[in-house]
């Protein structure tokens, strides 16, 4: 049985949110199926965090329906939230409390009793390599430790759905790898996840399906590997040279089945099928690099290379 044959854990239909004149999310449809990790991608301001906040009842939708675990959030928000864990984009650990207290106090909000909370907290601090920091105050933690604590906190209620809003933002490679390993471990144990991230390597590694948002709308969705191969081809040539030479090159390649993108003094050539001219070009020009296409290429193609936040 494929994942999509089961009823979705999260079902969003026709979701729209306006803040005054600004449309943050427009007619969004989204399903998350049990056991999958869905990646929600998009430039800053595309509506990812707003969607998550609507899912949690922290932002009221303008129109549309959200149901989680088969129940409408407008009717059963409290019961639904009992089964969700959240790693927010911006750190909101309780700075008045120690590492351990952050977990114990958070568990209390879920109605988990003190002894059960203590045991879960111990396990989670072990799982995220924070055991020797348990009595530390939050201000003394490094960025990576704070993120790991946020993850521990999100798991204190053993959630069936884990929402990760840029979980490794601003971390060094070591810390990111540790978090990825833990998330893969959770995924293998069946935890359903919704992940937003700007790190395409993270998305490729963790998600089984992605949904790309731009300006509040879905612009593409599917299996990340298949989407890249279908839209971008398998390889890309990056050519750096003088504008005249690039102009000439563009002309010679017009008979090949390629997509060409010109960015200032650089040419990106996406080959959909082998082409002799392309191979010759790669051999003769000096500033050419050839690499496999990736999710970042697709992302930039769909959402543009220009900065969005102006």
Partner 1 sequence: MWFLFYKVWLRNARVWRKHVWASLIGNLGQPFLFLLAMGFGLGRQIPQIEGVTYLQFIGPGLVASAVMYSGSFETMYGSYTRLTTQRTYEAILMTPVSVEELALGEIVWAATKGILSGLIMLAALPLFGLIPSPWILALIPILFLEGILFASLGLIMTALAGDYEFFNYFTSLFITPLFLFSGIFFSISAMNPVIQKISLALPLTHAVNLSRMLCYGRIGPDWPIHALVIIILSVFCAWVAIVLIRRRLIL
Of 205-244, binders to partner 1 (CB under 8 A) are none
Which listed residue (31, 59, 219, 300) binds partner 1 by CB under 8 A? Answer: 59
**Is residue 56 near partner 1 by the rule CB under 8 A?**
yes
Residue 209: CB minimum distance to partner 1, A: 24
Of 156-195, binders to partner 1 (CB under 8 A) are 157
**Is residue 105 near partner 1 by the rule CB under 8 A?**
yes
Which listed residue (25, 86, 212, 288) binds partner 1 by CB under 8 A? Answer: 86
Integer Cα distance of 118 and 158 in angstroms: 14
Residue 280: CB minimum distance to partner 1, A: 57
Which listed residue (4, 71, 108, 185) binds partner 1 by CB under 8 A? Answer: 108
Count of residues that interact with partner 1, criterion CB under 8 A: 31
Residue 77: CB minimum distance to partner 1, A: 8
**Options 36-44, 90-98, 221-229, 244-252: segment touching partner 1 (CB under 8 A):** 90-98
Integer Cα distance of 101 and 103 in angstroms: 5
**Is residue 22 near partner 1 by the rule CB under 8 A?**
no
Give the footprint of partner 1 on this chain (CB under 8 A).
19, 53, 56-60, 77-79, 81-82, 84, 86, 88, 90-97, 101, 105-106, 108-111, 157
């Amino acid at each position: 049985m494929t994942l999509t044959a089961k009823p979705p854990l999260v079902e969003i239909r026709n979701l729209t949110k306006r803040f005054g004149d600004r449309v943050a999310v427009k007619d969004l449809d989204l399903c998350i199926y049990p056991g999958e990790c869905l990646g929600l991608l998009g430039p800053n301001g595309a509506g990812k965090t707003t969607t998550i906040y609507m899912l949690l009842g922290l932002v009221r939708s303008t129109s549309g329906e959200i149901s989680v675990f088969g129940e409408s959030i407008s009717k059963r928000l409290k019961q639904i939230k009992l089964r969700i864990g959240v790693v927010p984009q911006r750190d909101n650990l309780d700075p008045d409390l120690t590492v351990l207290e952050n977990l114990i106090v958070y568990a209390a909000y879920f109605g988990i009793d003190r002894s059960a909370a203590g045991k879960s907290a111990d396990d989670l601090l072990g799982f995220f390599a924070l055991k020797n920091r348990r009595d530390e105050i939050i201000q003394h933690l490094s960025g990576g430790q704070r993120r790991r604590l946020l993850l521990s906190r999100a798991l204190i209620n053993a959630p069936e759905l884990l929402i990760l809003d840029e979980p490794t933002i601003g971390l060094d490679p070591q810390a990111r790898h540790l978090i990825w390993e833990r998330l893969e471990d959770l995924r293998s144990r069946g935890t359903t996840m919704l992940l937003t991230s700007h790190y395409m390597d993270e998305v490729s590694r963790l998600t089984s399906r992605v949904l790309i948002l731009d300006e509040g709308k879905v612009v593409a969705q599917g299996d990340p590997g298949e989407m890249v191969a279908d839209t971008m081809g398998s390889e890309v040539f990056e050519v750096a040279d003088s504008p005249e030479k690039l102009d000439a090159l563009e002309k010679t390649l017009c008979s090949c089945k390629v997509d060409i993108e010109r960015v200032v003094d650089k040419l990106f050539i996406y080959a959909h099928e082998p082409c002799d001219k392309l191979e010759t070009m790669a051999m003769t020009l000096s500033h050419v690099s050839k690499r496999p296409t990736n999710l970042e290429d697709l992302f930039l193609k769909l959402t543009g290379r220009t900065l969005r936040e102006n």
